[in-house]
């Protein structure tokens, strides 16, 4: 039987779970050969780290998986049958692959575990020109708009249509994504199977989690999932540390152990500043750099032994996968206190989107859209 050649574009380590679950949903007989194309836009260091993570988490799958860094790949002669991608919001990411392999089917596996976007609605929540003081961010948005303006003149540009969305948790921000794109839902059983294979792929990782639990046995454990909001210009760097210190003070018992798990895209050292501010009241422990970029969804043993705190998407994904109730501190008051004004609408929209999604998890049929406005 001919093997289907699948190219998976990875911009975040959780894409390993979402991308491979999509492939196994479409091809239950697993007659596939998979290539994983890794990039973290704007950071070579993060891209290399994520490449290492993807390699380590894909060793126990019953089909061939090859990983490469997008910027270093020279061989473009492979004829892929299918391209899997998280989103196409940035022209220099997955659309570049669409142009290289125009005959391949284009299959969206969604951001995180299945959020999908239309550009118009996504970018309408930002007002950077009027209110953002972040010059680098302004420049990036100018370039993105110029790319869209001159897109028809670019030699490599080829119009494309997304053939299908294969998602774990289908969340549509726009309310119209599925008007012309068919949806297939993966299902929890298939997702858990892929997660378990990722966990089994890295035995050193499993031993590391065991060591954490043994070291802090008998202590009250909190797992604080920090975010890369300051790196993105959403929160000023000087306010970023104060934000996390306030979260710890508000939700964590004095004298307890606080485990800090960075977002895969973090580049700033928050740990040292948080320790400096809080170490007289709490025992602060940072997850090893080797495992800092591992997606939280594979930290199964740890999240089941901790009180997890997250201001972002994991409060949905961990509830779905492990029925864990995550503390979610972000509300409108929180946004207006910490987030830069130009991004208020973006985060307030996210609060509404994810809170409504969370409410529907218990009654969702795992066949249709989980939530759309």
What's the rounded mean pLDDT across residues 36-62? 92
What's the rounded mean pLDDT across residues 224-246? 93
Q: What is the pTM of this model?
A: 0.90
pLDDT digits (tens, 9 = 90+) for 253-264: 999 999 999 998
CA distances to 110, 138, 171, 212 from 20, rounded to whole Å, are: 12, 35, 19, 28
**Joined tokens for residue 306:** 């901790």
In this predicted structure, which of 77-81, 216-220, 309-313, 315-319 has the lowest mean pLDDT? 77-81
Q: Largest Cα–Cα distance of the chain, in whole Å?
A: 63
pLDDT digits (tens, 9 = 90+) for 305-329: 999 999 999 999 999 999 999 999 9
Closest CA to 36 of 61, 121, 145: 61
Report the SS3 class of residue 288. coil
Helix, strand and coil content of the chain, in percent to the nearest 5, comes to 45, 15, 40
What's the rounded mean pLDDT across residues 193-208? 97
129 pLDDT above the threshold of 80? no
Q: DSSP for 190-259?
A: HHHHHHHHHHHH-HHHHHHHHHHHHHTTTS-EEEEE---TTTTTSS-HHHHHHHHHHHHHHHS-TT-EEE
Positive/negative CA dihedral, 141, 244, 313, 265: positive
Q: Where in the chain is the domain with CATH 3.40.50?
A: 4-120+158-189, 203-363
Say which CATH topology domain 203-363 has.
Rossmann fold (3.40.50)
Q: What was the pLDDT predicted at 78? A: 75
Confidence class for position 191, pLDDT limits 50, 70, 90: very high
Say which CATH topology domain 4-120+158-189 has.
Rossmann fold (3.40.50)
pLDDT digits (tens, 9 = 90+) for 327-345: 999 999 999 999 999 889 8
CB-CB contact of 299 with 214 (8 Å): no
CB-CB contact of 160 with 106 (8 Å): yes
Q: What is the mean pLDDT of the chain?
A: 88
């Amino acid at each position: 039987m001919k093997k289907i050649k699948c190219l998976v574009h990875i911009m975040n380590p959780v894409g390993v779970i979402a991308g491979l679950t999509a492939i196994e949903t479409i091809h239950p007989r697993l007659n596939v050969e998979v290539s994983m194309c890794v990039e973290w836009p704007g950071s070579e260091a993060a891209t290399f780290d994520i490449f290492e993570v993807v390699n380590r988490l894909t060793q126990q799958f019953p089909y061939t998986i090859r990983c490469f860094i997008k910027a270093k790949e020279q061989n473009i002669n492979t004829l892929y049958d299918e391209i899997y991608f998280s989103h196409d919001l940035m022209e220099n990411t997955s659309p570049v692959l669409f142009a290289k392999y125009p005959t391949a089917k284009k299959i969206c596996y969604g951001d995180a575990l299945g959020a999908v976007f239309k550009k118009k609605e996504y970018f309408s929540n930002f007002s950077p020109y009027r209110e953002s003081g972040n010059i680098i961010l302004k420049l990036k948005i100018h370039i993105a708009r110029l790319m869209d303006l001159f897109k028809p003149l670019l030699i490599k540009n080829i119009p494309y249509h997304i053939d299908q969305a294969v998602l774990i948790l289908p969340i549509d921000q726009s309310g119209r994504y599925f008007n012309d794109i068919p949806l297939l839902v993966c299902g929890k059983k298939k997702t858990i199977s892929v997660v378990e294979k990722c966990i089994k792929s890295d035995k050193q990782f499993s031993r590391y989690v065991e060591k954490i639990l043994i070291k802090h046995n008998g202590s009250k454990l909190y797992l604080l999932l920090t975010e890369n909001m300051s790196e993105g210009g959403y929160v000023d760097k000087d306010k970023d540390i104060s934000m996390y210190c306030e979260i710890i003070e508000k939700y964590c018992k004095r004298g307890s152990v606080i485990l800090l798990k960075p977002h895969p895209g973090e580049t700033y050292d928050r740990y040292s500043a948080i320790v400096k501010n809080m170490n007289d009241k709490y025992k602060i422990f940072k997850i090893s750099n080797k495992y800092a970029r591992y997606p939280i969804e594979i930290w199964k043993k740890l999240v089941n032994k901790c009180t997890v705190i997250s201001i972002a998407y994991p409060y949905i994904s961990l509830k779905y996968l492990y029925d864990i109730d995550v503390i979610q501190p972000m509300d409108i008051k929180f946004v207006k206190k910490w987030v830069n004004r130009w991004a208020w609408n973006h985060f307030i929209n996210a609060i509404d989107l994810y809170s409504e999604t969370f409410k529907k998890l218990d009654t969702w049929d795992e066949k249709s859209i989980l939530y759309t406005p």
